[in-house]
Structure 1
Amino acid sequence: MGEDPQAARTAARAAYTVADYLEGPYLSLCRNKNKDKTVRDKEVWIKKYLVPAFGRQLMKDVTRSDIYAFRKHFEGKAEVTWNRCFRVLRHAFQEARAEEIFPKDKVNPCIGVDQFQEAPRQNYLLPDTLMKVIAHLDRHAAVVWKRSRERFFTSQLIKTLIYTGCRKGEIMPLTIAQVDFENAVILLKENKEKDITKRVLLTDAAVKTLHETIRIALICDPENPYVFHGKSKQSHITDVKRAWAKICTELGLDDTKLHDLRHTYASLLINNGTRKEELKEVMNHKNIQTTERYAHLWDDTKKRAVNRQNSVFR
């Protein structure tokens, strides 16, 4: 009699090492479902931390004790990195269990393992500081585009992030065709698997910035389909970290990340009375838990309202 195909498939699944699964089926799954930036981050965490720690172990043999032993190496030094790695590992075992690469009769070994508490930081700019950043960018955009196109497009890109609250990975590859001035929206591809388009409503400031950028872009290179031109022909900007770091240095902004502009956008909406459910839709959060990160801002807004009410009774 021939070999039982089902038994052969079961044996093959049981032979997966952590490295086999993470670098193979798991990353393949992520490339289909996650944004490119998320996939790149996962690739780094897998290659640099997870494979060296667990690579040769069989998926089915990993225990909670193994996870805790791995966690111990990060105590007091790279706890945020551990949290990112841990979330990848937890998700990987969840997917492996669904594919029967990790036994269904066993509990995900990450269940019950605590993440490190991350120290909170103010991750948004106050209005006065934000206006200084915008004025700084305006000065660059107004005078340097003929001498330094790269600097012009970088300045305009950062202003667009401020005015839309979008992620840099959504705006850097923005094409002229995705900008709908008639309806004051930009159209972004939201899901890799499904043909879902996200509409980002544009403020007057965003419309003005994009209109001026596209005008200059068509002068510089009419054949380039992108809004924010890169260094080479028909390319787009792929990195703004150094430009943003230079701006922060020039303005004396310490510990300010580019992604903080997105949090700043959200904080401004909250301070203008936007409700949580509305903010979730505007910011394109997948779940309300992400939006809840801004809860302290709603508390601040309520306190100011109460203080205004208190002044009435003095």
Structure 2
Amino acid sequence: MVNRQKLTEKVLRDAVPAEGRDYQIFDTDVRGFAVCIYRGGGRAFTLDYRHAGRQRRMTFARWPEWGVTAARERAKELRREIDGGGDPLATRNAMREAPRVSDLIKRYVDLHLPHLAALNAADQRSMMEKFIGPAWGNMLVTEVSSYDVELLLNKVAEGRARPAKQKPNNRARKLQGAKPTPVRANRVGEVVRKMFAYAIKWGWREDNPAMGFRRRMEAPRERYLSQEEIARLAMALDRAEDDRAAGIIRLCMLTGARVGEVRQARFEDFNLEHLSWTKPATTTKQRRVHRVPISDEAASIVRQRRLAVVSGSPWLFPGDTLGQPVQEIRRFWARVQKEAGIEDVRIHDLRHTFASLLVSGGASLEMIGKLLGHSQMQTTQRYAHLMDSPLRAGVDAVASAFKPRPQLVHDADRSDAPANPPSQTAQRAGMKPLNAAGS
């Protein structure tokens, strides 16, 4: 027989657990509303109902965290939902099983990152571990809004305090203030946008909260070596004891290649007869094969490396680890920077310098893009301002044509000259010239 009575705080306190079984006390006011008395002494509020011909029981609150009055009001809300054709238990189970951002991150890492270059994949994994996961990991994929995206990117753009690189001594470890990182915020925004594009593709949500996120202003670094700096760099490389690292820097300068492409170059990639270098897709940023011509000087470096490298090694610049190319030359570059007096120059700036020299040689933007391996023309457009010199020459030519031509002034001593030639100033002013009497 069903145990029914009006549920009160006293009823719940006085209810005695049954040995070896759980039982329910149903409320007389709300149909299906009951309290379950567990054999261990715990108490929880439940709601029994039927949906689509099936008997359902939903546990929705525990006592004493929830009082009887609050639980009864919640039971009334659930009953109204059931009477409207809903199934609150199924809805709750679906919410529990709904994918969370942590699930989205895991699937994104498994399916998307393997197709990226190793450095790019590691960078995106770092973004998810440091920013996206801690902020949204426990949220449902459908709960993330455009407002959440903006809050996250604002936080990333503010930067974070980091240990100072220059320490006054070994004991002191001072912290630098937070340095704004707007570029990092833009990159995180791109990753978030890509992640939710996959979520839409997988049917996890219908819209992309990061679509059209506010991009922070980026000030692209523009550092080009002057002819004098190039000469000092060449002298520093000639004096360097590490011929291997010096060769990497020289090849970066002579080809405009990224340092990673040079480090991982193989002898088989070079055709010295046709003076060309075919970079495999695994080493290029655009993940496509990139074939470029090389100069005689670059080919000479390849020939010298053939003599210096142990027979059987495929790498142009083999590393200290057997079977691997050179992994790092930052310390070598720091010494070269100091010796050449170019402390503010990065290795990547050699690539920009290569492009600037191409411009000065009359190369078009399309040619520069092909040599540098740009997949998008807008990337090459950053070098467009270097073409101001020929444009300025054209403007100067127009200005020269528009200048007033010099007029011939007659000599007063010549017999064919007018007796009193009017002055050019008087003519321009519209004045009559004075006569000989000076009237």
Sort the TM-score into its range (normalised by shorter chain): 0.7 to 0.9
1:156, distance to aligned residue in structure 2 (A): 0.2
State the SS of the aligned residue for 1:186. strand
1:300, distance to aligned residue in structure 2 (A): 4.6
State the SS of the aligned residue for 1:190. coil
Letter in 1 for 2:291: R
Equivalent position of 1:201 in the other structure: 293
- Are 2:212 and 1:112 equivalent residues in the alignment? yes
- Report which of the two structures shows the higher radius of gyration computed on alpha carbons: 2
- Measure the CA separation in 2 of the matches of 1:63 and 1:196: 36
Contact 1:37 1:169 in 2 (8 A): no
1:152, distance to aligned residue in structure 2 (A): 1.5
- Measure the CA separation in 2 of the matches of 1:189 and 1:111: 33
How many pairs align? 286
- Measure the CA separation in 1 of the matches of 2:110 and 2:227: 40
Q: Is the alpha carbon distance of 1:269 and 1:216 closer, same or farther for their aligned partners in structure 2, counting shifts above 3 Å?
A: same
Equivalent position of 2:104 in the other structure: 21
- Measure the CA separation in 1 of the matches of 2:137 and 2:277: 43
1:206, distance to aligned residue in structure 2 (A): 0.9
- Are 2:267 and 1:167 equivalent residues in the alignment? no
Query: Alpha carbon RMSD of aligned pairs, Å?
Result: 2.7
- Structure 1: tracts of 5 or more residues without a match: 1-10, 145-150
State the SS of the aligned residue for 1:199. strand
- Measure the CA separation in 1 of the matches of 2:307 and 2:124: 38
Contact 2:153 2:188 in 1 (8 A): no
State the SS of the aligned residue for 2:289. strand
- Measure the CA separation in 2 of the matches of 1:46 and 1:259: 26
Q: Is the alpha carbon distance of 1:126 and 1:195 closer, same or farther for their aligned partners in structure 2, counting shifts above 3 Å?
A: closer
- Measure the CA separation in 1 of the matches of 2:101 and 2:265: 37
* Aligned pairs (5 A) from 1:1-314: 15-26=98-109, 28-32=111-115, 34-73=116-155, 74-75=157-158, 77-101=180-204, 103-104=205-206, 106=207, 108-140=208-240, 144=241, 151-190=242-281, 197-217=289-309, 221-303=310-392, 306-307=395-396
- Measure the CA separation in 1 of the matches of 2:243 and 2:140: 52
Equivalent position of 1:148 in the other structure: none
Q: Is the alpha carbon distance of 1:186 and 1:50 closer, same or farther for their aligned partners in structure 2, counting shifts above 3 Å?
A: same
- Measure the CA separation in 1 of the matches of 2:390 and 2:251: 26
Contact 1:188 1:199 in 2 (8 A): yes
Contact 1:189 1:197 in 2 (8 A): yes
TM-score by length of 1: 0.81
Q: Is the alpha carbon distance of 1:301 and 1:51 closer, same or farther for their aligned partners in structure 2, counting shifts above 3 Å?
A: farther
Contact 2:224 2:349 in 1 (8 A): yes
Higher helix share: 1
Contact 2:109 2:125 in 1 (8 A): no
Letter in 1 for 2:135: A
Q: Is the alpha carbon distance of 1:82 and 1:302 closer, same or farther for their aligned partners in structure 2, counting shifts above 3 Å?
A: same
Contact 1:179 1:187 in 2 (8 A): yes
State the SS of the aligned residue for 2:280. strand
Question: Percentage identity across aligned positions?
Answer: 27
1:308, distance to aligned residue in structure 2 (A): 7.7
Contact 1:223 1:234 in 2 (8 A): no
Identify which of structures 1 and 2 has the higher relative contact order when contacts are C-alpha pairs closer than 8 Å and 6+ apart.
1
- Structure 2: tracts of 5 or more residues without a match: 1-93, 159-178, 404-439
